[in-house]
A and B are shown apart, each in its own frame.
Chain A
Amino acid sequence: MTEPLYERLMNPTTRREAFTEVVQKYSPQLYRQIRRLVIWHEDADDVLQETFLKAWAGLDNYKGEAQISSWLYRIALNESLAFLAKQKAAVSLDDSEAERTLESDPWFDGDELQTKLQKAVSLLPEKQRIVFNMKYYDEMKYEEMSEILQTSVGALKASYHFAVKKIEEFFENND
């Protein structure tokens, strides 16, 4: 899909100006998606920077076949997963560590219920976490998610279903 912004990104004389617009337009939503995976604000900031650096470096490979937002989303998720793979500890936390970590974070403003939900989500497999966050918090359509994640709608629905079940069980068992 071509759009005026795409054409300006492909033009060397207007590329930088167009990319500035891309950063301003998409950084909030990309940040939210990244933050829900990596949890810490400082880490999310690092991953967000890496995302846009990768996007800038890969502009010549972006042919406009997907929407810019989908293309950026994919880069952000890959960078987040790569970061988590290095971090390891951020993916799964035991009960006491999760509450202490989130409560001590000045950039986390959740109450007890929200903290418990974050704890439950952190225990999900990475792919399910991504699907759950996109569906539950961003309320994305399955078709949109399918384009970004390159996964079938059916698989996404199943993944979300299992994620919800696990979270509900966590709340029941940790009441």
Chain B
Amino acid sequence: MNSILENKHLKADPFVVPDDYFEQFSSRMMNLIPETEVQPARIIPLGQRIRAEVGRVIGFAAMITLVVLFSRSFKAEAAASTPYVQNVSSAVAVNSDVETDNAYDYMLLDNVDIIENP
């Protein structure tokens, strides 16, 4: 006995779709898909890149130069504008030597051996 399923008529697809369904479906579907923004790579010409790098280096060097010059100028001005401070330092140094000599002299006075046997 043949199976009922061998009837080829049964294999026909009984489900139908509206006209142009699949064509419209594709459009509807892609409208649902979110747009993905891809940023294009920015192409910078080599010459422009080199000029930009050189400019950066020159700018940096100029900045360093200015800093150095300014700091030297500041030191010179600082020295010229405050002589008292410098002289006092020298005076302190001289006075310290005098006091040391006086201290030694005092010790020598007490050291009879040194006085009697110079």
Residues of B in contact with A (beta carbons under 8 Å apart) = 3-5, 7, 9-18, 22, 25-26, 28-30, 32-33, 35-36, 38
The chain A residues found within 8 Å of chain B, CB to CB, are 12-13, 15-16, 19-20, 23-24, 27-28, 31-32, 35-36, 41, 45, 48-49, 52-53, 56, 107-111, 113-115, 117-118, 136-137, 164, 167-168, 171
Taken together as a complex, chains A and B put the C-alpha atoms of A28 and B24 apart, in Å, by 12
Q: Are B30 and A23 in contact (CB under 8 A)?
A: yes
B5 touches A167 (CB 8 A): yes
- Please, how many angstroms separate the alpha-carbon atoms of A23 and B26 in the complex? 6
12 contacts between A and B (CB under 8 A): A16-B30, A16-B36, A19-B33, A27-B22, A27-B26, A49-B29, A53-B33, A107-B17, A109-B14, A111-B14, A117-B10, A167-B4
Chain B residues with CB under 8 A of A20? 26, 30
Given contacts A28-B22, A31-B22, 5 further A-B contacts (CB under 8 A): A15-B36, A48-B25, A49-B28, A109-B16, A117-B10
Point out the residues of chain A lying under 8 angstroms from B4, CB to CB.
167-168, 171
The answer, among B10, B25, B36, for a CB contact under 8 Å with A114, is B10
**Smallest beta-carbon distance A163→chain B, Å:** 10
Which residue of chain A is the closest to B35 with respect to CB atoms?
A16
Q: Given the complex of chains A and B, what is the CA–CA distance between A108 and B18 in angstroms?
A: 11
Minimum CB–CB distance from B65 to chain A (whole Å) comes to 47
Would you call A108 and B14 a contact (CB within 8 A)? Answer: yes
